[in-house]
Structure 1
Amino acid sequence: MKKEKDNIITNFTPFSVVKEKWLQTMEKSISSTSYKSYISAIKDFSLKFNDWEIKNINQLNIQDYLFSNNWKLKTIKHKRAVLYSLFNFATKMKYISENPTNNIILPKSRETLIDIEFEENKGLSRDELHIVLDYCERANRDIRHTLIMEFLFLTGMRLEEAGGLQVSDLDLNNKKLSIKHVIDTKATLDSSRTLYPPKNRGSRREIHLNPRSIEIIEWFINNQIDFVFTNRNGNPLQQASCFSFIKNVCTKALGENPKRKFNNHMLRHAHITLLAELNVPIKATMARVGHVQESTTLRIYSHISKKMKDETAEKLDKIII
């Protein structure tokens, strides 16, 4: 057995061969969006090391690669995680004896003032949403995108979850829906109707719908037989058009702000902040938005809203010693 193992390790195997076998495994075990993200993450690495014998790629090569570009720390961490997965696969398949990414040294995160301000301005308050919705009505902006934007704010659903929502997933009589699958909102029209499992097990969930959310759904499902949310041509949601619409109307309504990024994920962040304002327990919030890690929810909870700050100040003002 040891001889067989040694033979596998000593045989010449280029990185490109192992990469393709790893990608075949990943394609069957992760979401379409994550799979594309993995391919993108190793593109530059592949260009440089494709023809190298995989056992000759060492820690120093990977360390130099990760720091040879002016990537942000978040990007470096993601690339390192993807490479770890690839070389871990190579180790388990006996192409190499040790994972060269194990001891990669990453710098400590040093947030700039701009990073902090971006993080603090990630959400959207209810008052701001009213301003944006009023602008959309006055300016006669696309009603479908306007309603989808409002629905994402009210439910905290990811865009791909809303895009994959089927009429059969609805139980409007009991004011709830089930999130069972997602779509790839970056897919071309040929594959845009393909359904995939949600991001993780926690993402499969049932959520309550308030009356306004139900009104929005009912507006869309008139004569619909499969997807709830579609564009005017009856095709599933596309990330590019939703992102462009949200960025445009928020900028028009709220003004240019170099310290803010307006996008669809901002609405999910805003919903979690709204739940914090309503004093919803963190476990209930996690269940509603499909978070598996408590730290993910707490990170958003830590950015308290202006309303919460005002309420705290009001309570402090009443203290008498």
Structure 2
Amino acid sequence: MEGIKFSDELKVTKHRTAKARPYQGRLGYFDPIDYVWKSAVIGMKSKNREAKNLARAELEKKILEKYKQVKSKKVGTLGEALDEYLEHRKTIVSKATLFQDLTALKGLRVFRQSLSLVNVNEGHIKRVMEGWTACNEMTQLAYLNIIKNFFRKCIEKGYIVDNPAEKIKIISKKSTSYEIHKKEDKYFTISEQKRIYAAMEKYDNKTAPKKFKGNTIRYRLFLEFQALLGGRFSEQAGMKYDDVDYEKNTVYITTQLDRFSSVFKPENKEMKTPESIRIDMHISPRQVEIIKWFYEHNEHDKEYIFVKCDGSVMNVANLDKFLKNFTSVLPHKLPSSFVTHAFRASHATMLYEKGATPEAIARRLGHKGTRTTYAHYIKTTPQMMKESARILDGISLKPSKGLSK
């Protein structure tokens, strides 16, 4: 019968009373009707290998004969399980997380949806993973974990016994020199930022298209604020005037913009992690000045700080597109570095260069520890290299006054 599975090992124990068959063999098997593991027992005269093989064969035959007499209940299908899982996820996760679930699990939809869950195997999962070749390693790991969680839920429900994705791993590939350079280049030094902001200001006054002119200065101030704050885009875009304490020069970052909500009727959602919540986060006088500028120039509902002329909240795609106008200002930088997220790394690098501790920087960025901060946000600047050279010039290892001739 379809769906029956047997355990790998036949367990043999000593029987207390039986003399003719002093041993007892127990074989586990998965019941496809009740969706639970059960066991069948048989008496044995010996516990050697031959006796075990015979006992196992007899038990398997006995179990299979039993299920031939039973009208099979329909085994859960892949399509039914996917629908049920996603309906459940809708009630407990944000729209962004649900969208990621849908993206990761859509690969399973290519298989026959009437395919029994118990027949899904590693081969099916590997075929899904073949469609992830364009994704980076971190994204592939995230997608694989989502698939694993789906099958774990199926196990909890009793639909299957084994997770077909559990033993699959993402094989790390060696990064090319270009990929390493692309990652390390995604930040701006203080002098580079000054050049970009100067070019943006000139763009505001002279070359910006009329229909965008009112928003270009807002984009510039948003990016400057982000470089001084170090927050994620959604955290800053979801910032409200009520989150600012003007007496202490601090802000409260306790929620973030739900990027799947309407830009004209924005909604905030919970933070990414508990560590992302930052209370009394210091802001500079320049950042206070930027907040006040937005308050004076926002003609619409004054709840969200960083809004465009029409009152809609900022959109990361528009900001990234705006940044691409200034690639020629820094021709030594890769075009891929001109994205909003680069200003978060710029903030971390700027503080580290000025002497801030990695622990303090991690707290400002909302990281649990310094590992992520070091790996992805703190970059090595030319100024740091000059400082290391200056330190090296002051170190002498010579054992005597001069070199022997």
Tell me, yes or no, whether TM beats 0.5. Answer: yes
Identify the residue that residue 101 of structure 2 maps to in structure 1. Answer: 38
Shift of 1:40: 1.7
Q: After the TM superposition, which segments of 4 or more aligned residues of structure 1 sit over 6 Å from their partners?
A: 2-5
Shift of 1:155: 0.4
Q: What letter corresponds to residue 223 of structure 2 in structure 1? A: M
Q: What letter corresponds to residue 247 of structure 1 in structure 2? A: K
- Unmatched segments (≥5 aa) in structure 2: 1-28, 37-72, 209-215, 398-405
Shift of 1:109: 2.5
Write out per-residue CA displacement over residues 46-89 of structure 1, whole angstroms, 9 at most, x where no aligned residue.
Answer: 23354422221111221233136633451432221111121111
Q: Using a 3 Å threshold, how does the CA distance of structure 1 residues 98 and 254 change in structure 2: closer, same or farther? A: same
What is the DSSP-based 3-state SS (H/G/I as helix, E as strand, rest coil) of the residue aligned with 2:222? helix
Structural mapping, 1:122-137, within 5 Å: 122-137=186-201
What is the DSSP-based 3-state SS (H/G/I as helix, E as strand, rest coil) of the residue aligned with 1:245? helix
Segment of structure 1 superposing worse, 128-137 or 49-58: 49-58
Shift of 1:108: 2.6
Confirm or deny that 1:112 pairs with 2:205: no
Confirm or deny that 1:196 pairs with 2:269: yes
TM-score, structure 2 as length reference: 0.72
Identify the residue that residue 13 of structure 2 maps to in structure 1. Answer: none
Matched residues in 1 for 2:33 and 2:381: separation? 59
Confirm or deny that 1:262 pairs with 2:325: no
Q: Work out which structure has the larger RCO, using CA pairs closer than 8 Å and 6 or more positions apart in sequence.
A: 1
Identify the residue that residue 177 of structure 1 maps to in structure 2. Answer: 251
Tell me if the contact between 2:185 and 2:334 (Cα under 8 Å) persists in the aligned partners: no
Equivalenced residues, count = 318
TM-score, structure 1 as length reference: 0.90
Shift of 1:257: 4.7
Confirm or deny that 1:287 pairs with 2:350: no
Q: What letter corresponds to residue 128 of structure 1 in structure 2? A: E
What is the DSSP-based 3-state SS (H/G/I as helix, E as strand, rest coil) of the residue aligned with 2:252? strand
Tell me if the contact between 2:32 and 2:75 (Cα under 8 Å) persists in the aligned partners: no
Q: Which of 148, 154, 168 does residue 90 from structure 1 map onto?
A: 154
Q: Which has the higher strand share?
A: 2
Matched residues in 2 for 1:152 and 1:29: separation? 30
Identify the residue that residue 63 of structure 1 maps to in structure 2. Answer: 126
Q: Which has the higher helix share?
A: 1
Q: Which of 151, 165, 183 does residue 239 from structure 2 map onto?
A: 165
Matched residues in 1 for 2:394 and 2:241: separation? 51
Q: Using a 3 Å threshold, how does the CA distance of structure 1 residues 106 and 194 change in structure 2: closer, same or farther? A: same
Matched residues in 2 for 1:317 and 1:302: separation? 25
Write out per-residue CA displacement over residues 1-45 of structure 1, whole angstroms, 9 at most, x where no aligned residue.
Answer: x99996246742222222233223333443332221221222233
Matched residues in 2 for 1:113 and 1:63: separation? 28
Q: Highest Rg: 1 or 2?
A: 2
Write out per-residue CA displacement over residues 243-278 of structure 1, whole angstroms, 9 at most, x where no aligned residue.
Answer: 2112333x1422385474311111111111112112
Q: Which of 75, 78, 83 does residue 15 from structure 1 map onto?
A: 78
Shift of 1:187: 3.8
**Percent identical:** 23
Tell me if the contact between 2:231 and 2:344 (Cα under 8 Å) persists in the aligned partners: yes
Q: Using a 3 Å threshold, how does the CA distance of structure 1 residues 187 and 146 change in structure 2: closer, same or farther? A: same
Tell me if the contact between 1:164 and 1:195 (Cα under 8 Å) persists in the aligned partners: yes
State the superposition RMSD in angstroms: 2.4
Matched residues in 2 for 1:146 and 1:40: separation? 33
Matched residues in 1 for 2:177 and 2:335: separation? 10
